[in-house]
Amino acid sequence: MTHRYIKIGVTSVVLVVAFAGLLWSTLREGTEYYKHVDEVMTSPQDWEGKRLQLHGFVVPESILRKRDSLDYKFKVQNKGQVVEASYNGIVPDTFKDDAEVVLKGRLSSDGFRVEPNGVMAKCPSKYEPAKKSVS
């Protein structure tokens, strides 16, 4: 084997190892699961500490806000499974009872901790087609 082929081989190995390391470190930090409340709450211990986007519906009359603060506590449910959530920040205008929400954060032993700007809510009536009258 000539000196030239050794250089090409070593360079190739270094590049592959560097690319694999970069890919691994990027994916390790950026992994985030999209799950529904019922999927997570059937075995919550499997999901504790992992980054999640949690989809569900706000339980009516469960939204509590501390006076003179932006601390919220509320419950989110889907298919009979419920999780308590806590959030500190400004919520969207569409965040209310029965609103469909996606929360970004982590599940802990005492509920779901929503990260800053991690509440996304929509009002289903805005997105449904207008009903046509039948004559």
- The domain limits of the chain are 1-31, 32-124
pLDDT of residue 125: 58
pLDDT of residue 82: 95
pLDDT of residue 25: 79
Amino acid sitting at position 39: E
pLDDT of residue 122: 80
pLDDT of residue 128: 59
Closest CA relative to residue 59, chosen from 78, 80, 77:
77
pLDDT of residue 113: 96
Report whether 104 contacts 123 (CB < 8 A). Answer: no
Q: Which 3 state secondary structure label does DSSP give 87?
A: strand
Question: Along the chain (135 residues), what's the average pLDDT of each consecutive run of 10 residues?
Answer: 87 93 76 91 92 94 92 95 95 92 94 94 64 63
pLDDT of residue 32: 82
> End-to-end distance of the chain based on CA atoms, in angstroms?
87
pLDDT of residue 3: 86
In which residue are the tokens 């009258």 written? 133
Report whether 40 contacts 54 (CB < 8 A). Answer: yes
CATH of range 32-124; options 2.60.120.1440, 3.40.50.620, 2.40.50.140, 1.20.1250.20: 2.40.50.140
- DSSP-derived secondary structure for 4-61: HHHHHHHHHHHHHHHHHHHHHHHHHHH--EEEEHHHHHTSGGGTBTSEEEEEEEEPTT
Report the predicted TM-score, pTM, of the whole model to 2 decimal places.
0.71
- DSSP annotation of 70 reads -
- Tell whether the torsion through CA atoms of 33, 39, 40 and 43 is positive or negative: negative
